[in-house]
Amino acid sequence: MQFKLAFVTAALATLAVATPTPRNEPASSCSTGPIQCCDSVQSASSSPVALLLGLLGIVLQDVNLNVGLTCSPITVIGASGSSCSAQAVCCEDNSHGGLISIGCLPVSL
């Protein structure tokens, strides 16, 4: 009985430690360019994003990356007209004309 209890406790502790939690990075930690304001952020493996990536001829090595859709840069935080009413993110690759941004992490403004 004690072995089962110890095993279950250890298994639950392992799951709690191994479960990824989304975290917001501070805006100042974005070193890849301006923070982006994206209408939505989805996994690259989701059907709509995978279809869009295929149509654009973009092949990703990691399909677990987050992809921002319809993004625009936020140039000055706190200035008039530079707020983001959707999702503020810091992305690794913003070179697709605002249609998509690749490797996005949420940021706190």
Q: pLDDT digit string (tens) for 76-107?
A: 655 555 578 889 999 999 888 889 999 999 98
Query: 9 in a domain, yes or no?
Result: no
DSSP state at residue 97: T
Q: Can you give the residue range of the structural domain that contains 33? A: 23-108
Tally of structural domains, the chain? 1
Query: 4 in a domain, yes or no?
Result: no
Strand partners, 105: 90
Query: 101 in a domain, yes or no?
Result: yes
Query: 16 in a domain, yes or no?
Result: no
> Tokens 């939690």 — which residue?
21
Quick check: pTM over 0.75? no
> Tokens 């406790």 — which residue?
9
pLDDT tens column, 12-54: 344 333 334 445 555 666 887 788 999 999 999 999 999 999 9
Write the CB contacts of 35 (distance below 8 Å, at least 6 apart in sequence).
Answer: 27, 73, 74, 77, 84, 88, 89, 90, 107, 109
Query: 2 in a domain, yes or no?
Result: no
According to the model, what pLDDT value does residue 86 have?
87
Query: 10 in a domain, yes or no?
Result: no
On the question of pLDDT at 70 being above 90, the answer is: yes
Query: 49 in a domain, yes or no?
Result: yes
